[in-house]
Amino acid sequence: MITTTQRIIKSGFLNFWRNGFISLASVLTMVITLCVIAGLIFMSALLSITLNEIEKKVDINVYFIPQADEADILNLKQALEGLPEVADIVYLDREQVLDNFKEEHKEDQIELQALQEIGDNPFGAVFNIRAQETSQYEGIAQFLKSDSALSKGGIDIIDTVNYFENKVVIDRLTKIINTAKSLGFAITLLFVALSVVITFNTIRLAIFISKEEISVMRLVGASNMYVRGPFVVTGIMYGFIAGVCTLVLLYPITLWLGPKSADFFVGVNVFTYYVRNFGQIFFIVMFSGIVLGAISSYLAVRRYLKV
Amino acid sequence: MLYFDRVSKIYSDDSHALQDVTFTIEPQEFVSIVGHSGAGKTTLLKMILAEDTPTEGAVFFESNSIQDFDRTEINSFRRRIGTVFQDFRLLPHKTAYENIAFAMEAAGRSDVDIEADVPHVLNLVDLGDKMWNFPHELSGGEKQRVAIARAIVNQPDIVIADEPTGNLDPINTYEIVQILKKVNDLGTTVILTTHNKGVIDSLKKRVITMDRGRLIRDDHEGTYVL
């Protein structure tokens, strides 16, 4: 068994080197396929990171009345933090809101004078709430409308929740994000399927050229494994070498595209992504290449084994 | 050794490649099969090699019906047969040595056997000095000698030579026939198909004559009568 395996591997290597042009053509086709697969990994990551960034920018603000008791506000904060939909709450008390206002309007003397004339702090505290997903804001807003948001005296301590003002925009954004995710997934599947078919056909063509050779092997009594083995080894070599070429090619390509992608996709640099996730990308590209080469060769030889 | 029992082969277009063919080939015989193109010679050889199955009748090898062999049995059976074709059918990306070694590897022979037997058999066919040449570096006669070396290296029970001299000049034809005779003298059954009258007449061996799928003559020291 060991001798047979050694002979099959040796024969696969010899096939690869001695069929130079066919090997080159198969490797180049596979490089294109693997580049498409790698490109889709980058696109998927860019889309995902960009959508996450956009999602992070969506939040709702809860404005309390100036008379609201801080203890009631903190109780409400605690209740909100208990909700699974809530990712993060930033609490600004009345003084911080006033300071922020002054900082924002330090150039605007009229606003500052008006504030001085009022004398007292006219601002209420504010919650800035971020949900896990954009679709969950409605639930949080509904929660705020419930009894938990009322003070002990029966007076509503919440002045405004800006979700209801931004509802249309948030809903539209949620739809866009979900559509982009589904579309991205469908396009990924389509491109991967097309690339796999092209690679499969190239390898099938390479093996078609050897069909006479396969029939001779059968006529000298070679077993299926002994005929198929070297072709599968050659297919694995196509995949391995194409994988290495793809990973090498991706370095200058992502280096060149990096600043462009950072400008276009809210600061996501594909080169940084490639370097940081090299292990994962290496595994996907090499695994795809080797498996694609092996399976394509295995299936392509099968039809000529009936002699 | 080989027994064709009322073998017929009818293709889907209703054409008869073989019709009710019956004959026996004994061990160590040298049998030539002659006939015009389409007479059924190649179909007959395909039946022996288990490449095709009869529509009616059966082909027996040592009392076992060939068409009943499973895939493993077919592989083992083929290792007991050496085949030589008109178009040589050498593996183009393997050297003369590797082509012969491949047949031995397929038969599960050890590396030690291969290293000893391949040079020996190449010397037998006078190609010891061309061991590392690829098929495209050899002449037609040399290719056919490599094919014969591959056919005999596993010491088969039968050597089937399908028009082995069809692509060769008279000198190479003579040499190939001499090698086949030597193989037969060493105890191997040889089945030869050819159109070459000179070869058949010079052999003075058994001749089976086929015509439109039927066996029309079986002469024990026959000549080419078509």
* Contact (CB, 8 A) for B168 and B140: yes
Whether pLDDT at A112 is above 60? yes
- If asked whether residues A203 and A73 sit together in one domain, one would say no
- If asked whether residues A281 and A221 sit together in one domain, one would say yes
CA distance A292 to chain B (A): 24
- If asked whether residues A133 and A98 sit together in one domain, one would say yes
Q: Do B78 and A221 touch (CB under 8 A)?
A: yes
* Domain final position from A94, A129, A156: A156
* Contact (CB, 8 A) for A81 and A140: no
Best of A8, A216, A225, A228 to substitute, by most chain B Cβ atoms within 10 angstroms, is A216
Q: 3-class SS at B19?
A: strand
Confidence at residue A253, expressed as pLDDT on a 0 to 100 scale = 92
Confidence at residue A147, expressed as pLDDT on a 0 to 100 scale = 60
- If asked whether residues A35 and A75 sit together in one domain, one would say no
Best of B91, B109, B155 to substitute, by most chain A Cβ atoms within 10 angstroms, is B91
User: Is A218 within the bounds of a domain?
Assistant: yes
* Domain final position from A126, A156, A186: A156
Confidence at residue A148, expressed as pLDDT on a 0 to 100 scale = 58
- If asked whether residues A40 and A124 sit together in one domain, one would say no
User: Is A196 within the bounds of a domain?
Assistant: yes
User: Is A307 within the bounds of a domain?
Assistant: no
* pLDDT tier for residue B214 given thresholds of 50, 70 and 90: very high
Chain A CB contacts of B110 under 8 Å are 3
Q: What is the pLDDT of residues B12-49, one digit of tens each?
A: 888 889 999 999 999 999 999 999 888 999 899 999 99
In this prediction the pTM is 0.70
- If asked whether residues A189 and A295 sit together in one domain, one would say yes
- If asked whether residues A179 and A294 sit together in one domain, one would say yes
Number of domains, chain A: 2
Confidence at residue A154, expressed as pLDDT on a 0 to 100 scale = 67
Confidence at residue B115, expressed as pLDDT on a 0 to 100 scale = 94
> Which residues on chain B place their C-beta less than 8 Å from a C-beta of chain A?
49, 51, 71-72, 75-79, 83, 89-94, 102-103, 105-108, 110-111, 150
User: Is A161 within the bounds of a domain?
Assistant: no
User: Is A221 within the bounds of a domain?
Assistant: yes
Burial class (CB in 10 A: 0-12, 13-18, 19+), A106: exposed
CATH of the domain at A126: 3.30.70
- If asked whether residues A80 and A208 sit together in one domain, one would say no
Confidence at residue A307, expressed as pLDDT on a 0 to 100 scale = 60
User: Is A61 within the bounds of a domain?
Assistant: no
The residue of chain A nearest to residue B79, with distances taken between CA atoms, is A221
User: Is A59 within the bounds of a domain?
Assistant: no
* Domain final position from A106, A127, A156: A156
Q: What is the pLDDT of residues A139-163, one digit of tens each?
A: 888 888 776 556 656 677 888 888 7
- If asked whether residues A178 and A297 sit together in one domain, one would say yes
What sign has the CA pseudo-torsion A18, A22, A26, A29? positive
The lowest-confidence range among A46-50, B22-26, B152-156, B159-163 is A46-50
CA distance A227 to chain B (A): 9
More confident call, B215 vs A111: B215
CA distance B27 to chain A (A): 20
**Boundaries of domain holding A125:** 66-156
User: Is A258 within the bounds of a domain?
Assistant: yes
Whether pLDDT at A76 is above 90? no
* Contact (CB, 8 A) for A85 and A163: no
Chain B CB contacts of A3 under 8 Å are 110-111
Average pLDDT over residues B200-204: 89
- If asked whether residues A49 and A185 sit together in one domain, one would say yes
Average pLDDT over residues A17-44: 88
Strand pairing category for A86-92 and B2-10: unpaired
Whether pLDDT at A287 is above 80? yes
Q: What is the ipTM of this complex?
A: 0.74
- If asked whether residues A233 and A194 sit together in one domain, one would say yes
Portion of chain A with pLDDT greater than 90, in percent = 19
- If asked whether residues A150 and A180 sit together in one domain, one would say no
Q: Do B75 and A223 touch (CB under 8 A)?
A: yes
Q: Which candidate from A3, A7, A213 shows the least CB-CB separation from B91?
A: A213
